[in-house]
Homo-oligomer: A and B are copies of this chain.
Amino acid sequence: MSDALIRRLEIFAELSSADKAILAEATATSRPISARTDVSREGDARRDVFVLLSGIGCRYKIVAEGRRCIVAFVLPGDLCDIHAPILNRMDHTLATLSPCEMSVMPRSIVSHILEHHPMIVRALACSSMATESIQHEWLANLGGRNSPMRIGHLLCELYHRMEAVDLVERGQFSLPITQIDLADATGQTSVHVNRSIQRLRSERLITFAQGMLGILDLRRLERISDFQPDYLQLSRQVGTTSPD
Min CB distance A196 to B, Å, is: 16
B residues less than 8 Å from A133 (CB atoms) = 91
Min CB distance A123 to B, Å, is: 10
Given contact pairs A71-B136, A135-B132, A136-B91, A242 touches B143 in the complex (Cβ within 8 A): no
- Complex Cα distance, B131 from A131, in Å, reads 12
A89 within 8 A of B: yes
In the complex, chain A residues 70-85 whose Cβ is within 8 Å of any chain B Cβ? 70-72, 83, 85
Max chain B C-beta neighbours (<10 A), residue from A59, A85, A132: A132
A126 within 8 A of B: yes
In the complex, chain A residues 131-162 whose Cβ is within 8 Å of any chain B Cβ? 131-133, 135-140, 142-145, 149
Min CB distance A5 to B, Å, is: 19
Min CB distance A153 to B, Å, is: 9
A86 within 8 A of B: yes
A17 within 8 A of B: no
Given contact pairs A91-B231, A237-B88, A136 touches B61 in the complex (Cβ within 8 A): yes
- Complex Cα distance, B138 from A60, in Å, reads 12
For the residues of A in contact with B, the DSSP-based class is: helix
| Contact digits for A215-244, partner B, Cβ 8 Å, 1 yes 0 no | 000000000001000110100010011111
Max chain B C-beta neighbours (<10 A), residue from A125, A136, A142: A136
A63 within 8 A of B: yes
- Complex Cα distance, B140 from A237, in Å, reads 32
- Complex Cα distance, B64 from A149, in Å, reads 10
B residues less than 8 Å from A149 (CB atoms) = 64
A92 within 8 A of B: yes
Can you list 14 A-B contacts with CB-CB less than 8 angstroms, sorted by A residue number? A61-B140, A63-B143, A70-B143, A71-B135, A71-B140, A85-B241, A86-B122, A87-B126, A91-B233, A135-B135, A135-B139, A139-B142, A143-B187, A144-B187
